[in-house]
């Protein structure tokens, strides 16, 4: 049985990936594409790499949308909160790729975004949809918040080690590097080729909005009331891919085999998580919905080093949103999702 779905925010990178993947999905039919400034244009003008280029982009206003079973929201920060409400009232299931409903309470939202949430009471109605850790909340749900790209990478690596009490919940240091597509598609001087190519820099140091999301997810997944993380994201000259490198103090001296065992046990039934012996490279997952994880022990400081590589636009955005949709609708979680990536 096929479900009609809409993509609102179809002209960005995440929107393009949603469409590319959904066009190949056996059980979804993309029947509406909504966009803001690109409304009225042909798909081929906005995403010349996709097929069916004669399709038209409509308005991102949910009122303009024909009835669908499910809508993926790939809208700018702050734009989902209102739209999601309207859609749910009309009986449309909603998966929000934005950050409006990812956090569990108003205080954390205020801390992360520096402003109060417009509908604080609704926060608790939205499951945080990281499938490998919170997938049990999804079957039958009519809404879910798709996790951010950095939290997906970081949390998948650390959660099983925290849950097994192998690492300490305080003092975790996370450094992440991301390809440039994570910053979106809008023209900005600091995202010009001339500014990005052959350059590395950190940004949002000490104040990135994904840090509270990482802490929340680790707390929820481990049952530990307070997990604290120092998080520093970096931009590197590549299109796609995130590598999260986390250092956490071991609770007691163990070899890396113990860490790898805990990770493998946690993900033994997960289609999309591979725990590997080597050091994960982003190229090995780019193009796929996979996460590759490994862990090492730095003996002289008693720390675990945990590394996770994902494709920020797939496992960190569009692919994971589809994985969530699959689970919400009772399908196989891997339906329509690539396990193999592309290389080179």
- Interface with a second copy in residues 211-270 (CB under 8 A): 211, 228-230, 232, 234, 236-241, 243, 245, 247, 249
Nearer to a second copy, 129 or 333 (CB): 333
Q: Which of 4, 27, 36, 50 touches a second copy (CB under 8 A)?
A: 50
Q: Which of 8, 9, 13, 213 touches a second copy (CB under 8 A)?
A: 13
Q: Which of 286, 291, 310, 322 touches a second copy (CB under 8 A)?
A: 286
Place of tokens 């998948």: 156
Nearer to a second copy, 87 or 242 (CB): 242
- Binding of a second copy at residue 316 (CB under 8 A)? no
Residue 2 tokens read as 């096929």
Nearer to a second copy, 63 or 194 (CB): 194
The b-or-e profile of 122-147 (16+ CB within 10 A means b, else e) is bbeebbbbbbbbbbebbeebebbbbb
Residue 294 tokens read as 């490994």
- Binding of a second copy at residue 30 (CB under 8 A)? no
| Residues 137-176 as x/- pattern, contact with a second copy by CB under 8 A | ----------------------------------x-x-x-
Residue 87 tokens read as 């859609």
Helix (H, G, I), strand (E, B) or coil at 226: coil
- Binding of a second copy at residue 202 (CB under 8 A)? yes
- Binding of a second copy at residue 281 (CB under 8 A)? yes
- Catalytic: 216? no
- Binding of a second copy at residue 105 (CB under 8 A)? no
Phi, psi of 72 (to 5 degrees): -95, 125
- Binding of a second copy at residue 49 (CB under 8 A)? yes
Nearer to a second copy, 125 or 298 (CB): 298
Residues 182-201 that bind a second copy (CB under 8 A): 185-189, 191-201
* Cα 3-268-162 angle, rounded to 5 deg: 105
Burial class (CB in 10 A: 0-12, 13-18, 19+), 85: middle
Please give the Cα distance from 231 to 7 (Å, whole number).
31
Are the C-beta atoms of 206 and 175 separated by less than 8 Å? no
- Binding of a second copy at residue 296 (CB under 8 A)? yes
Catalytic residue among 75, 141, 149, 324: 149
CA distances in angstroms from 215 to 177, 209, 230, 248, listed in the order given: 18, 11, 10, 14
> Count of residues binding a second copy (CB under 8 A)?
79
- Binding of a second copy at residue 106 (CB under 8 A)? no
Helix (H) or strand (E) holding 195: helix 193-196
Please give the Cα distance from 158 to 154 (Å, whole number).
6
Residues 57-96 that bind a second copy (CB under 8 A): none
Which residues are part of the catalytic machinery?
149
């Amino acid at each position: 049985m096929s479900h009609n779905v809409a993509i609102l925010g179809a002209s960005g990178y995440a929107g393009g990936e949603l469409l590319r993947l959904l066009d190949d999905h056996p059980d979804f039919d993309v029947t509406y594409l909504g966009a803001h400034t690109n409304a009225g244009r042909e798909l081929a003008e906005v995403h010349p790499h996709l097929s069916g280029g004669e399709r038209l982009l409509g308005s991102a206003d949910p009122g303009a949308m024909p009835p669908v079973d499910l809508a993926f929201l790939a809208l700018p920060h702050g734009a989902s909160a209102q739209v999601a409400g309207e859609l749910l009232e009309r009986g449309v299931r909603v998966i929000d790729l934005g950050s409006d409903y990812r956090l569990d309470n108003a205080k954390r939202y205020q801390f992360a975004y520096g402003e109060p949430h417009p509908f604080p009471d609704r926060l608790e109605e939205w499951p945080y949809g990281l499938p490998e850790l919170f997938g049990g909340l999804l079957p039958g749900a009519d809404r879910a918040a798709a996790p951010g790209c950095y939290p997906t990478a970081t949390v998948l690596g650390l959660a099983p080690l925290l849950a097994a009490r192998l690492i300490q919940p305080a003092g975790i240091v996370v450094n992440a590097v991301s390809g440039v597509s994570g910053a979106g598609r809008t023209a900005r001087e600091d995202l010009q080729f001339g500014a990005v190519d052959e350059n590395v820099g950190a940004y949002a140091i000490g104040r990135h909005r994904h840090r509270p999301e990482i802490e929340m997810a680790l707390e929820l997944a481990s049952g530990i009331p307070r997990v604290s993380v120092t998080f520093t994201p970096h931009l590197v000259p590549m299109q796609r891919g995130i590598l999260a490198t986390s250092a956490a103090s071991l609770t007691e001296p163990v070899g890396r085999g113990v860490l790898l065992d805990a990770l493998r046990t946690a993900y033994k039934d997960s289609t999309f998580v591979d725990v590997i012996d080597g050091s994960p490279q982003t190229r090995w997952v780019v193009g796929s919905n996979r996460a590759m994880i490994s862990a090492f022990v730095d003996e002289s400081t008693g720390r675990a080093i945990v590394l996770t590589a994902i494709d920020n636009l797939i496992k960190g955005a569009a692919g994971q949103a589809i994985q969530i949709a699959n689970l919400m609708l009772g399908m196989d979680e891997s339906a329509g999702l690539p396990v193999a990536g592309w290389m080179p």
